[in-house]
């Protein structure tokens, strides 16, 4: 799985109408009056504006984590990765997205698809974490 860094010119804020309430995913509920309020997607999706990038996913190694081929990732370069974070890393000059698992003597880059193997990164090997994935945005088409 690889990811591609996208060029974009940020225009803040990105405000869209938001209908306050929830939409049942089970049985329909009686119609209710919902209040339309503005919602700034930058406030919802982006914590560190200057350090946030969008990247497009190419591949299916993270499908069981809800990251699908073609998704847009919201990646925060200012966030500190912790054990279990989904991260974008540079491996041999190529970006990839995996779950980071740290151990005392190594780190593991774990896919979320049983068809792929985890990659072990030993102490002394270079591991460049580009950023922490905050959100995955995918189309329903």
Is 54:3 a contact under the CB 8 Å cutoff?
no
Map tokens 């984590």 to a residue. Answer: 65
Catalytic residue from among 11, 63, 98, 122: 98
Active site residue 122: no
Structure tokens at 64: 């069981």
Phi, psi of 96, deg, nearest 5:
-150, 160
Is 35:14 a contact under the CB 8 Å cutoff?
no
Which residues does 70 contact at the CB level (< 8 Å), separation at least 6? 56, 57, 58, 138, 139
Catalytic residue from among 2, 11, 22, 61: 61
DSSP character for 65?
Answer: G
Q: State the Cα–Cα distance between residues 64 and 100, nearest whole angstrom.
A: 15
Is 83:124 a contact under the CB 8 Å cutoff?
no
Active site residue 61: yes
Catalytic residues: 61, 98
């Amino acid at each position: 799985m690889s990811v591609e860094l996208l060029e974009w010119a940020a225009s803040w804020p990105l405000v869209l109408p938001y209908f306050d309430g929830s939409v049942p995913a089970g049985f329909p509920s009686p119609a209710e009056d919902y209040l339309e309020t503005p919602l700034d997607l930058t406030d919802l999706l982006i914590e560190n504006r200057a350090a946030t990038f969008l990247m497009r996913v190419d591949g299916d190694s993270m499908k069981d984590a809800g990251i699908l081929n073609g998704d847009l990732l919201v990646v925060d370069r200012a966030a500190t990765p912790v054990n279990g974070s989904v991260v974008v890393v540079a491996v041999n000059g190529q970006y990839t997205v995996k779950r980071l698992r740290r151990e005392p003597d190594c780190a593991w880059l774990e896919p979320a698809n049983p068809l792929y193997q985890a990659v072990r990164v030993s102490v002394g090997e270079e591991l460049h974490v580009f950023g922490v994935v905050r959100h995955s945005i995918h189309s329903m088409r």
